[in-house]
Structure 1
Amino acid sequence: MRNIEKLIKQIIPPPTREEREGFTNDKIIAGLNKEEFLSVEKRLIQELEENDDLLIGQTLVEMKSENALPVLSRRLKKKDSHFEKITWAALINDLKKGDPEMEEIAFEAFEKLEFIYAVQGSIFMDLIKFNSPRINKRIEKFVDHKYDLVAIHAKAVLNNNGYDSKKWWEIWK
């Protein structure tokens, strides 16, 4: 068995843009044997208890770690930001393969969102994962948003899920 602490450092690099931009730990996780997998899972859960690190949460969800649900739920409850609530609720929803309670949390947080910066439109990528008609309907309201990137993100996630926006010649209807 490989050294677990070294594996953790490879799986979860330091939280800097230089270390994490474009980073993926999929191959490392896929290369773990059963014993390493269980040890890494346990260690990541401990790490998430101590550190508010989204990459750890995402990794545990990718590992399909149901043991991580309690710590993921605690992280969600500590969030004040509506954006963060949506992101952490989406993680739990993914892990549970659908959860009405998480959909409700995400919908309520979405109702309160105010887009201050255009880049925040990427939150739609988390929202669309709920596969919720009422969330999708709400996303539709952003396809003509004043910030182009918000509108582009809204259209992109809806189009990837079968949304058919008006054609250019229908804009006067």
Structure 2
Amino acid sequence: MIKELIPPNDYQNRNGFSNEHIVLSLTEKEKVEVERNLIEMPKQEEDDMIGETLTIMKSTDSLPTLQKRLNLTKSPTMKIIWASYINEINNGDEKMKEIALNEMDKISEKYSRIGIFHHLAKFRDSRINDKIRNFINHEDYLTAYNARTSLGMETAEIIKREQIKNGIGTKKWWEI
């Protein structure tokens, strides 16, 4: 069951993968067993899918383990991810929001920033959302697009801007 829920941590097995439908279809007995096994797993490796699965399960028993993962990681991105899981399980957690606010400013690498917007938006905090809004008109298309989608904002303007920048939509089909 665990292998089905948590496939190997590589692109081939994880790209586009979601286990939410599996988690939601578990019986109560299976949930207890899976939860127990998953709580033990993060001690062995830092795999955020384990945390994500425990969050889907709303596992309050996993909070000490998730907190330990948060405390052990050095990566600002991973700190935000672990904090978002704890925040979601607790239905809001000011300490986790503060961690996200502080760590967000430490992320400068484009793809890390793009990937973290949706985790940040889950905090439902106006201060965090204001920081995300700083990127909604970013010159980089992926940055602006992901900032907007994480906040539930319209993306047509950004898409049009990118099309114009690339000469798409400004030329007739025979001019391309």
RMSD after superposition: 2.0
Distance 2:123 2:70 in 1: 16
Q: Is the 1:72–1:92 Cα contact (8 Å) retained in structure 2?
A: yes
- The aligned residue for residue 100 of structure 1 is 94
1:110 aligns with 2:98: no
Partner secondary structure for residue 74 of structure 2: coil
- The aligned residue for residue 171 of structure 1 is none
Q: Is the 1:119–1:150 Cα contact (8 Å) retained in structure 2?
A: no
Shift of 1:118: 4.4
The ranges of structure 1 where at least 4 consecutive aligned residues each deviate by more than 3 angstroms after the TM superposition are none
Q: Is the 2:80–2:99 Cα contact (8 Å) retained in structure 1?
A: yes
- The aligned residue for residue 148 of structure 2 is 155
1:131 aligns with 2:136: no
Moved more, 39-48 or 13-22: 13-22
Q: Is the 1:118–1:148 Cα contact (8 Å) retained in structure 2?
A: no
Q: 1:119 to 1:82 in 2, by over 3 A?
A: closer
Shift of 1:78: 1.2
Distance 1:119 1:61 in 2: 21
Distance 1:118 1:57 in 2: 21
Alignment size in residue pairs: 156
Q: Where in structure 1 are there 5+ consecutive unaligned residues?
A: 1-6, 169-173
Shift of 1:32: 2.2
Q: Is the 1:122–1:150 Cα contact (8 Å) retained in structure 2?
A: no
Matched to 2:127, the amino acid is R
Partner secondary structure for residue 130 of structure 2: helix
1:22 aligns with 2:9: no
Distance 1:118 1:148 in 2: 12
Q: Is the 2:135–2:144 Cα contact (8 Å) retained in structure 1?
A: yes
1:88 aligns with 2:82: yes
Using structure 1 for the length normalisation, give the TM-score.
0.82
Distance 2:25 2:110 in 1: 39
Matched to 1:61, the amino acid is T
Q: Where in structure 2 are there 5+ consecutive unaligned residues?
A: 161-176
Distance 1:118 1:8 in 2: 29
